[in-house]
């Protein structure tokens, strides 16, 4: 098993630079005016069945609370290499988080989704607070969240 | 050093620590309130599957069930897109009320742990906890030193209002504050990752999920096996994902529960780091330990009181400290002046010497004798000016000098001169100065001058010493000392009660009122009275406190006594100038321990004052010696009144000029049984009167205490034997 992983990583490393085009995506997440501490957010890509693919951004610095972002935590294994360089501070009630991240072209219009898991201290944990298809048509159109997220927009 | 260590961070930290303490005290109530409003279940009464089954009959779309440490059960659900959270009754699964964490508590918690400053704020709070720890430890050490050792830590205290309350409240709150500070520090350290808390060890999601239909939640074996009291959190699987599982967190560990088989998978028990973290977290917050949270909160509430009294004490000490101009550092000075002073009058002389040496071009360093160090590298001479306290003891600012000198040593051959200040009326005139002289010789110093003494603050004698010193130094040294008098108050004589004319001991009880307003004082403090034409005050023990509305003293007329004659001849309505010198060591300690008051003659004054103020009716036993009950039974009618209203428990008077006459010492011996019993009950002894009487009392009491293996010396060391002797 280990050997297979090592082999595929190696193949990826060789193949990726030539084949994969990446672009910058701007993620805008506006939170509701809830009463509570700053929210932890995980913004990540899943396939159509909800299987974790890639972390786009993690808001919140204390890894000990990441388990409250349950689906993302399970998918990423909370492995620091998964969110290395794409994490920042937690986001306060009513505030907007705007970040730009690299995204491979192959993930767009290919049946993938962007999801946000969110959590606030002493309040409910929200799995898939936001869940939107990742398509060029959906870019720029705000999606509403279920729990702490007021609206989420990605601009390709 | 210990005192500086206690007061410096104390000042800096007072605000921060007060903020943390007050917010902590507010938060400490939460666990108890939460406990009041939650239903507790016995171990084995309800398991998690039962609870989940009951909840399922009242809620649809359950996402999560949580149980807080205090026993509140919260259900998070999402019914038709409507998210909600509700507190439920664990016995029925029925919703009790919507769950909304208190915004006030959240605000308080944020203030308490980070002062709303985010991560840097956590650091500041951590520093606050560290300061609290330093204050608790140094404060406890100071208190133990003051009470004569750790074993005496619970002994009654005395002192001024602030002193007493600071220490009294401090020792009450000590354990709680230590616990809060230490656990707070630990939690801060885990926040910054300095100490691992075991929270990173998450169970991995099981690789295989059994196929098959999901069982009803009430039938899941793993949940049946988990007691409700152990539950932390049960997260339901995503209803749209048949591959998902329950995630179960308990007090002991975490794992997943298969929806189809009901088995517990990937279970990971908490490691010891995690268990330690959870225990300390509980100890700090009182969550689930409401009975601990409340006393911890009370201890925290003591902090503001201690901060205020602490700052007051520091301020008073600072104000009382002598102000020396042009004081060089210990290292750079060529001349060092060390001062042993009980009530700062010796500092006046030191200041004059300091100025004169400075004028003569020396680099001078003045300090209290207790600050003696090894750092006098450039010193060419040391001057020691010291008073003597009590029966040849060291004055307050020199109490540790001899020990320090022994420890630190002296530069070989360093020239020194000791000047003793005292009053020749006392048998042990300048006794302590002699001890210091011997110790300096022993330490290898070479005397610059022989030991000299100054009687009764004599400016002439001091000037003469200055001239002798100037000759040795080859300089012209003029020491002009004008004693600085404290601000005096004008007092008007209101009443005079005369005793003792017939037995040749004319004694007057004098009551004064203030021309404007009475200064603050308590019985046992001293009134410094300046007879007309004299610059040197005479001190009288006060028999009243300012609350009584009069200043009362008891004065016996002495042959050739300038002040006592003046007071005895004073007309009603005439006025005197007086100032107050606090004497906080001589008064009954707080607490309900019995008090044994012993005195003779005018020594009855402050003792009567103590009895008069004994409104709490603590047991007080008075032993007093006079000459003849028909003539000099001072305060007789007043004392009998106090006996009747129980402010005074027992009055044992002895009279020397009657048939079969006896002294107060004889009274003590004949009452040995009673006295031993009182001492065994923790009684304290306060002695007031002449020096000879005090000596006799000490011998008599040693005799009384010998059968129970105690002595006056032991009682003194425990702070239970205090004298006001003249």
A96 touching B (Cβ < 8 Å): no
Predicted confidence at residue B425, as pLDDT, reads 63
DSSP state of B214: P
A8 touching B (Cβ < 8 Å): no
Q: How far apart are CA B494 and CA B588, in angstroms?
A: 28
Q: To probe the interface with A, which of B105, B244, B245 has the most A CB atoms within 10 Å?
A: B244
* Per-residue tokens: B195: 């100490």
Give domain status of residue A36, yes or no.
yes
Put simply, the answer to whether A124 touches B204 (Cβ < 8 Å) is: no
Cβ-count burial B299-311 (b if 16+ within 10 Å, e if not): bbbbbbbbbebbb
Q: How many CB atoms lie within 10 A of CB A110?
A: 12
| Domain spans of chain B, in order of start | 2-35+105-197+280-315, 48-90+202-269, 335-473, 489-581, 595-725
Asked if B459 contacts B480 with a C-beta cutoff of 8 angstroms, the reply is yes
A73 touching B (Cβ < 8 Å): yes
Put simply, the answer to whether A123 touches B101 (Cβ < 8 Å) is: yes
Nearest to B632 by CA among B661, B660, B656: B656
**Of residues A70, A77, A124, nearest to B85 (C-beta):** A124
Put simply, the answer to whether A63 touches B200 (Cβ < 8 Å) is: yes
Alpha-carbon Rg of chain A, whole angstroms? 16
B1 touching A (Cβ < 8 Å): no
Q: How far apart are CA B465 and CA B479, in angstroms?
A: 8
CATH classification of B489-581, choosing from 3.40.50.2300, 1.10.10.10, 3.40.50.300, 2.40.30.10?
A: 2.40.30.10
Give the pairing type, strands B95-98 and A149-155.
unpaired
Give domain status of residue A10, yes or no.
no
Rounded (5°) CA angle B330-B451-B470: 65
Give domain status of residue A2, yes or no.
no
How would DSSP label each residue in B482-515?
-PPPPPPEEEEEEEEEEE-TTTT--EEEEEEEES
How would DSSP label each residue in B536-550?
S-EEEEBSS-GGGTS
Range of the domain at A57: 21-155
Mean pLDDT value of segment A121-128: 90
Q: Chain A: nearest CA to B130, how far in angstroms?
A: 23
Put simply, the answer to whether A124 touches B119 (Cβ < 8 Å) is: no
B686 sits in which H/E element? strand B684-689
CA dihedral B119, B123, B129, B131 (to 10 degrees): -150
Q: How many Cα atoms are found within 13 Å in the side-chain-facing hemisphere of B217? A: 28
Cβ-count burial B518-553 (b if 16+ within 10 Å, e if not): bbebbbbbbbbbbbeeeeebbbbbbbbbbebebbbb
Strands of B124-259, DSSP E: 231-235, 246-250, 253-257
B199 touching A (Cβ < 8 Å): yes
Predicted confidence at residue A4, as pLDDT, reads 44
Band (A57; pLDDT cuts 50, 70, 90):
very high
**DSSP-derived 3-state class of residue B225:** coil
Give domain status of residue A48, yes or no.
yes
A136 touching B (Cβ < 8 Å): no
**Of residues B78, B106, B241, nearest to A50 (C-beta):** B241
**Of residues B64, B191, B197, nearest to A124 (C-beta):** B64
Q: Chain A: nearest CA to B304, how far in angstroms?
A: 28
Predicted confidence at residue B452, as pLDDT, reads 92
Predicted confidence at residue B278, as pLDDT, reads 93
**Of residues B106, B191, B240, nearest to A36 (C-beta):** B106
**Which residue of A lies nearest to B81 if distances are taken between CA atoms?**
A146
**DSSP-derived 3-state class of residue A102:** strand
Put simply, the answer to whether B103 touches A73 (Cβ < 8 Å) is: no
A64 touching B (Cβ < 8 Å): yes
Q: Chain A: nearest CA to B38, how far in angstroms?
A: 17
Whether A9 has a pLDDT exceeding 60, the answer reads no
Asked if B229 contacts B236 with a C-beta cutoff of 8 angstroms, the reply is no
Predicted confidence at residue A10, as pLDDT, reads 42
Q: Which residues contact B398 (CB under 8 A, 6 or more apart)?
A: B339, B340, B341, B368, B369, B370, B386, B432, B436
Q: Chain A: nearest CA to B370, how far in angstroms?
A: 51
In this structure, whether the domain defined by B595-725 belongs to CATH 3.40.50.80 is answered with: yes
A78 touching B (Cβ < 8 Å): yes
Q: How far apart are CA B200 and CA B193, in angstroms?
A: 11
Q: How far apart are CA B635 and CA B638, in angstroms?
A: 5
Give domain status of residue A114, yes or no.
yes
Domain harbouring A84, CATH code: 2.60.40
A79 touching B (Cβ < 8 Å): no
Nearest to B712 by CA among B572, B598, B565, B623: B598
Give domain status of residue A6, yes or no.
no
- Whether the model clears a pTM of 0.80, i.e. scores above it, the answer is no
**Which residue of A lies nearest to B200 if distances are taken between CA atoms?**
A64
Chain B CB contacts of A122 under 8 Å are 101, 106
B241 touching A (Cβ < 8 Å): yes
B200 touching A (Cβ < 8 Å): yes
**Of residues A70, A74, A146, nearest to B83 (C-beta):** A146
Provide the domain count of chain A: 1
Chain A CB contacts of B99 under 8 Å are none
Band (A16; pLDDT cuts 50, 70, 90):
very low
Give domain status of residue A15, yes or no.
no
Whether A12 has a pLDDT exceeding 50, the answer reads no
Compute CA distances A154 → A55, A103, B674, B683, whole Å: 14, 11, 91, 81
Q: Which residues contact B375 (CB under 8 A, 6 or more apart)?
A: B330, B331
Q: Chain A: nearest CA to B156, how far in angstroms?
A: 46
- Give the model confidence (pLDDT) of A81-111 as tens digits: 999 999 999 999 999 999 999 999 999 999 9
pLDDT averaged over every residue in chain A: 86
* Domains B335-473 and B489-581 belong to one CATH topology: no
Q: Chain A: nearest CA to B267, how far in angstroms?
A: 15
Put simply, the answer to whether B200 touches A64 (Cβ < 8 Å) is: yes
In this structure, whether the domain defined by B335-473 belongs to CATH 3.20.20.80 is answered with: no
Provide φ and ψ at B673, rounded to 5°: -60, -50
Put simply, the answer to whether B205 touches A74 (Cβ < 8 Å) is: yes
Q: Chain A: nearest CA to B86, how far in angstroms?
A: 11
Can you list the residues of chain B whose pLDDT is less than 50?
A: none
Chain B CB contacts of A127 under 8 Å are 63, 238
* Per-residue tokens: A19: 């084949």
Q: Chain A: nearest CA to B300, how far in angstroms?
A: 25
Put simply, the answer to whether B202 touches A35 (Cβ < 8 Å) is: no
- Give the model confidence (pLDDT) of B381-419 as tens digits: 999 999 987 667 888 889 889 999 999 999 999 999 999
Put simply, the answer to whether A63 touches B110 (Cβ < 8 Å) is: no
Q: To probe the interface with A, which of B27, B74, B188, B202 has the most A CB atoms within 10 Å?
A: B202
Give domain status of residue A9, yes or no.
no
- Interface ipTM: 0.81
B101 touching A (Cβ < 8 Å): yes
Asked if B530 contacts B518 with a C-beta cutoff of 8 angstroms, the reply is no
Asked if B529 contacts B540 with a C-beta cutoff of 8 angstroms, the reply is yes
- Give the model confidence (pLDDT) of B335-344 as tens digits: 999 999 876 7
Q: Which residues contact A16 (CB under 8 A, 6 or more apart)?
A: none
Count, residues in chain B: 726
**Which residue of A lies nearest to B247 if distances are taken between CA atoms?**
A70
* Per-residue tokens: B712: 């006056």
**Of residues A78, A124, A146, nearest to B76 (C-beta):** A124
Chain A CB contacts of B81 under 8 Å are 146
Q: Which residues contact B239 (CB under 8 A, 6 or more apart)?
A: B61
């Amino acid at each position: 098993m280990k050997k297979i992983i090592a082999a595929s990583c190696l193949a990826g490393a060789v193949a990726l630079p030539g084949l994969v085009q990446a672009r910058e995506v701007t993620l805008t997440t506006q939170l509701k005016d809830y009463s509570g501490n700053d929210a932890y957010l995980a913004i990540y890509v899943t396939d159509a069945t909800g299987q974790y693919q890639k972390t786009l951004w993690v808001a919140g610095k204390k890894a000990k609370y990441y388990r409250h972002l349950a689906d993302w935590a399970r998918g990423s294994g909370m492995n620091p290499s998964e969110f290395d360089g794409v994490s920042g501070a937690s986001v306060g009630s009513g505030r907007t988080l705007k970040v730009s991240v690299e995204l491979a072209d192959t993930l767009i219009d290919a049946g993938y989704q962007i999801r946000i898991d969110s959590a606030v201290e002493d309040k409910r944990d929200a799995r898939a607070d936001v869940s939107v298809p990742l398509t060029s048509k959906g870019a720029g159109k705000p999606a509403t969240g279920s729990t702490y997220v007021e609206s989420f927009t990605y601009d390709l | 050093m210990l005192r500086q260590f206690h007061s410096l961070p104390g000042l800096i930290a007072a605000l921060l620590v007060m903020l943390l303490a007050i917010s902590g005290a507010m938060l400490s109530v939460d666990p108890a309130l939460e406990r009041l409003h939650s239903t507790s279940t016995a171990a084995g009464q309800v398991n998690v599957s039962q609870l989940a089954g009951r909840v399922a009959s009242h809620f649809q779309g359950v996402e999560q069930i949580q149980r807080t440490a205090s026993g509140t059960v919260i259900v998070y659900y999402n019914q038709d897109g409507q998210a909600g959270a509700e507190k439920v009754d664990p016995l029925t699964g029925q919703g009790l009320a919507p769950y909304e964490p208190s915004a006030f508590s959240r605000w308080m918690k944020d203030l308490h742990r980070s002062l709303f400053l985010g991560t840097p704020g956590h650091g500041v709070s951590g520093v606050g906890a560290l300061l609290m720890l330093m204050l608790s430890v140094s404060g406890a050490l100071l208190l133990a030193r003051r009470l004569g050792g750790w074993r005496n830590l619970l002994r009654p205290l005395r002192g001024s209002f602030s002193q007493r309350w600071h220490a009294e409240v401090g020792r009450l709150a000590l354990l709680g504050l230590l616990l809060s500070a230490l656990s707070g520090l630990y939690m801060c350290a885990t926040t910054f990752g300095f100490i691992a808390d075991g929270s990173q060890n998450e169970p991995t999601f099981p690789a295989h999920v059994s196929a098959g239909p999901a069982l009803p939640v009430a039938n899941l074996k793993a949940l049946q096996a988990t007691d409700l009291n152990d539950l932390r959190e049960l997260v339901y699987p995503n209803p749209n994902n048949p591959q998902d599982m329950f995630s179960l967190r308990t007090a002991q560990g975490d794992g997943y529960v298969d929806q189809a088989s009901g088995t517990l998978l990937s279970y990971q028990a908490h490691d010891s780091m995690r268990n330690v973290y959870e225990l300390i977290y509980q100890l700090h917050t009182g969550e689930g330990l409401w009975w601990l949270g409340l006393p911890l909160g009370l201890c925290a509430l003591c902090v503001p009181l201690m901060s205020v009294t602490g700052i007051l004490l520091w301020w008073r000490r600072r104000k009382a400290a002598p102000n020396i101009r042009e004081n060089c550092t210990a290292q750079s000075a060529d001349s060092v002046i060390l001062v042993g002073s009980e009530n700062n009058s010796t500092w006046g002389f030191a200041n004059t010497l300091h100025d004169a040496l400075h004028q003569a071009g020396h680099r001078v360093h003045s300090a209290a004798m207790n600050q003696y160090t090894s750092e006098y590298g450039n010193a060419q001479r040391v001057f020691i000016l010291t008073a003597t306290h009590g029966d040849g003891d060291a004055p307050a600012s020199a109490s540790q000098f001899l020990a320090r000198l022994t420890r630190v040593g002296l530069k070989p051959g360093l020239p020194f001169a000791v000047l003793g200040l005292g009053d020749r009326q006392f048998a042990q005139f300048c006794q302590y100065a002699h001890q210091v002289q011997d110790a300096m010789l022993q330490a290898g110093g070479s005397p610059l001058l022989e030991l000299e003494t100054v009687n009764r603050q004599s400016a002439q004698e001091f000037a003469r010493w200055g001239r002798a010193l100037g000759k040795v130094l080859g300089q012209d040294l003029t020491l002009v000392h004008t004693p600085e008098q404290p601000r005096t108050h004008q007092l008007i004589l209101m009443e005079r009660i005369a005793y003792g004319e017939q037995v040749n001991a004319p004694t007057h009880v004098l009551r004064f009122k203030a021309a404007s307003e009475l200064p603050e004082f308590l019985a046992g403090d001293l009134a410094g009275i300046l007879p007309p034409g004299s610059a040197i005050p005479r001190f009288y023990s006060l028999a009243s406190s300012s609350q009584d509305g009069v200043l009362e003293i008891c004065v016996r007329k002495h042959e050739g006594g300038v002040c006592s004659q003046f007071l005895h001849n004073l007309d009603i309505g005439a006025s005197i100038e007086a100032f107050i010198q606090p004497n906080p060591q001589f008064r009954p300690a707080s607490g309900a321990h019995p008090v044994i008051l012993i005195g003779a003659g005018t020594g009855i004054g402050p003792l009567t004052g103590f009895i008069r103020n004994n409104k709490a009716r603590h047991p007080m036993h008075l032993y007093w010696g006079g000459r003849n009950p028909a003539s000099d039974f001072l305060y007789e009618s007043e004392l009998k009144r106090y006996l009747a209203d129980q402010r005074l428990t027992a009055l044992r008077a002895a009279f020397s000029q009657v048939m079969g006459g006896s002294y107060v010492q004889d009274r003590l011996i004949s009452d040995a049984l009673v006295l031993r019993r009182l001492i065994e009950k923790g009684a304290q002894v306060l002695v007031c009167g002449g020096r000879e009487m005090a000596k006799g009392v000490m011998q008599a009491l040693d005799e009384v205490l010998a059968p129970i293996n105690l002595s006056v010396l032991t009682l003194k060391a425990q702070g239970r034997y205090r004298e006001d002797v003249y």
